[in-house]
Structure 1
Amino acid sequence: MRHDHLKIGNRYLVVRSTPSVEAPFKLQSEPGIEILDGDDLDANSLMLLAKEYNPDIIYLAGWGDKRFTAVGKYFKAKGKPVILGMDNQWLGTIKQRVAGTFGTSFLKQFSSHIWVPGLPQFPFAQRLGFSSNQILTNLYCADEKLFEDINQNTFKRQLLFVGRLVEHKGLLNLFRVLQKLLDEGRLDLRVKLIGNGPLKSKIPQDDLIEHIPFVSPEDLPEIMKNAGFFILPSLYEAWGVVVHEAVLAGLPIVSTYETGASTAFVIPNFNGFLYNASKLKDLKSIILQIQDMSEDTYFNFSKNSKTLSKKISLDFWSANLNSVITNPN
C-alpha cells in the first residue's frame, strides 16, 4: 500500500480486526494510509464510515464477517469494483467442492473480483465462479527494497528457518531428520532456527543447531545475508511470503511441494530443492546433497534465486490493484 500510495497517489482506509499478540509486526497509520481497529464497529457504524469515505475500490480480506460483506454488497450495487482476497489452495476437499457448487451466487453478491497469491489458488477461484479476467494474482508480495543490498557473498553450509515453531510448518519432520543425522554422525552443516512456539522444546540439542526466539522484522534482511540455504518444510503453507524474502536475498531454497510460494520461487536443481512434506527420506537426501555441494553450484543457485525473485514485485502488485478500475470486468 505504501508503494502504491507513493507511486500512484492512492489513499487507503484500512479497517482491521485487532491483531494477534503473536503478530510479528505492528501496523500504524502513516501518510496516505489510515488504519482503524474495527472490532468495536457495529454494522451500521461500519457502513456509515465506508459511505463517508466513498472508496473507488473495496478490498475484503475474506467473507466470514457479515459487516464487511454488507459493505461490499452496497458498493458493488453502485458499480464499484469489490475485490475478495483468498489464499486457500485448491485441494479438492469435499468442503471446497461444495463451496464451488453452492458458494458462487453467495460470493458474487458482494464481490466483482477475487485476488489470490498464485497458481495453487487459481483453480479454486475459478470453481468459485470467477472468470479468468476477474481473477487477480500476486496478492502477497515482499518488499524488494529491503533486500536491494542483501546478497550471498560467502558459501555457508547452513539451513536457516524463520517462522513460528508450530506443527504445520513441518518442523517435527525436520527435527526427526536432523536427529537421525546427528545419531549417525552425518550432520555436517549448521542449522539456525528463528522463531518461537510450542515446538521449542522439540529442537534437537547440539552445538550445530542454534535457536533464536525472536528477531525484529526490520532485522530480517541482515539475518538472511550470507545465511546458507533457507528452509521452509511446511506440511501445508497457503503461500509463504518469507520464501519471496529469501530469494530476494539470494538464498537457495529447500521447501515442500505443499508450500504455495514454491510454485513461483523454487525450481528444483536451479535454485533449490523441493520434496513431498511427508517424505523424510527425501529431506534427508537433500541435506546430504547440500553438504556435498560445490561452491560454484551454490553461487549459481543463489544467482538464480535473485532472478526468480523478480516474478512478483511491488510494481506488479500496484498494477494488479489499479487494473480493476481501468478494466472493471
Structure 2
Amino acid sequence: MKKTIVYLYAELMGYQIPVLREYVDKYDYDVHVVHAVSGKLSKYEIPELTGITFYDKDQFKGSELLDLVRSLDPSIVYVSGWMYFIYTKVIYSLRKKNIPVVTGFDDIWHGTLKQRIGKLIFPFFKKKFFSHAWVAGPYQYEYAKKLGFVNEEIIYNCLSADVSKFISCKKKHDFGNSIPHNFLYVGRFHEVKGVDILYEAWKRLGKDRGDWKLTMIGNGPLLADMPEMESFEIRDFMQPEELISVLEDYSCLVIPSRNEQWSVAMHEFAVAGFPMISSHVCGAIPLFIIPNYKTISSQGRF
C-alpha cells in the first residue's frame, strides 16, 4: 500500500516541484498539496504532474480540509503556511494522533523583539503542532534551535534548485572577450529585493558601463519606477524552462537584496556555473559563495 504525504503550503513556486517529483519517482508516495492560489506574488504556473494532486486552500470551509486530510490518512504532513488558521487546526488534530508534522522555514534569527518573544512562547506550543523542523541552511538551523527543536528534530536542505535542469546549462567561463557582457537579475521587482538600488547604481555608472548590459527578469510593483535607459533591459517573468533556455545570453548573476532569508536563485546559478555578485544579507551565502572565488559579497550598498 502506498504511503501518502500531505503538503499544507502558502504560495507554491517552481523550486518545490523537483522535491514533489522526488517523492513520487524515487519513493513511490502519493502526494497531495494544498496551497494558496489567491494573492500570488508571481506568475508561476504549476505544471501537470503524475501522482500529485493540487487543491486551492480557499475551496475548503469549516472542517472540510481536516476531513480531507483525515481521509487521506497521511504518513507525514509538511506545513509552511503557519499564518493560516485552517492549517494550524489540521496539524493540531494530527499531532494528537502522533502523526509527524514537519514545519519548514527559511527565517533567519535577527534578535528582534518579535523573535525574542517567540523564542519564549514557541516551546510551549511546539509539541502540540510540530514534530520536526525542515530548514534551508545553517542560519535557519540556528533559529530552529532557539525555538526549541533539538538536533534530532531538525532536517536540512528545505529549499532546492531543480539541479537536473540547471546543471544541463552549466557554462564554461574563460573571462575573455567571448563571454556575454550582460549582468542578470532574476526575481520580484520589490523594494526588499533591492532592485531600485541596482537600477540606480547602473544608471550612475554611465559611460563606465562600457559595452556591458544589465537585464532584469521578473515583475512587481517597482516596474514602473525603472524607465528604459541605454544598456538596460527588462524582461517579463519567465517560467523555469524558458529562463534556462536564455541563460547562455548572460554571464553574471546579481542579487542586490536588502533582506533575503534564502535564495533559490543563488543555488540555481551556482549549479549553472555562474559568477555572482550578492549583498551580504542573503541567507544562502554560507552554502554557495566562497568569497572572491567567482563571487562578490557586498557589505555595503551597491
In 2: Cα distance, 1:32 partner to 1:59 partner: 17
Match of 1:261 among 284, 287, 298: 284
| Contact 2:42/2:219, CA 8 A, preserved across alignment | no
Q: CA deviation at 1:19?
A: 4.5
| Contact 2:182/2:249, CA 8 A, preserved across alignment | no
In 2: Cα distance, 1:193 partner to 1:110 partner: 41
Structure 2 partner of 1:220: 243
Structure 2 partner of 1:85: 104
Kindly indicate whether residue 46 of structure 2 is the aligned counterpart of residue 27 of structure 1: yes
Answer with 24-33 or 224-233: which moved more.
Answer: 24-33
Amino acid aligned to 1:209: F
In 2: Cα distance, 1:222 partner to 1:28 partner: 17
Answer with 201-210 or 99-108: which moved more.
Answer: 201-210
Amino acid aligned to 2:281: E
What 5-or-longer segments of structure 1 have no aligned partner? Answer: 284-329
Q: CA deviation at 1:116?
A: 1.4
TM-score (norm 2): 0.86
Structure 1 partner of 2:208: 186
In 1: Cα distance, 2:62 partner to 2:47 partner: 24
Q: Identify if the C-alpha distance between structure 1 residues 73 and 248 changes in structure 2 by more than 3 Å, giving closer, same or farther.
A: same
Query: SS state of the match for residue 88, structure 1?
Result: coil
Structure 2 partner of 1:46: 65
Kindly indicate whether residue 91 of structure 2 is the aligned counterpart of residue 72 of structure 1: yes
Match of 2:193 among 162, 169, 190: 169
In 1: Cα distance, 2:89 partner to 2:237 partner: 39
Answer with 27-36 or 48-57: which moved more.
Answer: 27-36
Answer with 239-248 or 91-100: which moved more.
Answer: 239-248
Q: CA deviation at 1:130?
A: 0.5
Q: CA deviation at 1:250?
A: 1.1
Match of 1:252 among 259, 275, 281: 275
In 2: Cα distance, 1:28 partner to 1:155 partner: 33
| Greater share of strand | 2
| Contact 1:118/1:137, CA 8 A, preserved across alignment | yes
Kindly indicate whether residue 254 of structure 2 is the aligned counterpart of residue 207 of structure 1: no
| Contact 1:15/1:35, CA 8 A, preserved across alignment | yes
Q: Deviations over 1:198-246 (max 9, x none)?
A: 3224336433112212333321112222511001100001112111111
Structure 1 partner of 2:219: 196
Q: Deviations over 1:225-278 (max 9, x none)?
A: 2511001100001112111111121111111111112221111111211012xx
Q: Deviations over 1:71-101 (max 9, x none)?
A: 2122222222110112211111010010001
Q: Deviations over 1:97-124 (max 9, x none)?
A: 1000112212321110011111221121
Aligned pair count reads 277
| Contact 1:224/1:251, CA 8 A, preserved across alignment | no
Query: SS state of the match for residue 198, structure 2?
Result: helix
Alignment of 1:291-310 (within 5 A): none
Q: Identify if the C-alpha distance between structure 1 residues 152 and 19 changes in structure 2 by more than 3 Å, giving closer, same or farther.
A: farther
Structure 2 partner of 1:98: 117
In 2: Cα distance, 1:62 partner to 1:40 partner: 16
Alignment of 1:115-126 (within 5 A): 115-126=134-145
Kindly indicate whether residue 37 of structure 2 is the aligned counterpart of residue 13 of structure 1: no
Q: Deviations over 1:293-319 (max 9, x none)?
A: xxxxxxxxxxxxxxxxxxxxxxxxxxx
In 1: Cα distance, 2:65 partner to 2:218 partner: 36
| Contact 1:147/1:248, CA 8 A, preserved across alignment | yes
TM-score (norm 1): 0.79
Q: CA deviation at 1:148?
A: 3.2
| Contact 1:29/1:35, CA 8 A, preserved across alignment | no
| Contact 1:5/1:32, CA 8 A, preserved across alignment | yes
| Contact 1:157/1:228, CA 8 A, preserved across alignment | yes
Percent identity over the alignment?
A: 30
Q: CA deviation at 1:171?
A: 1.5
| Contact 1:178/1:204, CA 8 A, preserved across alignment | no
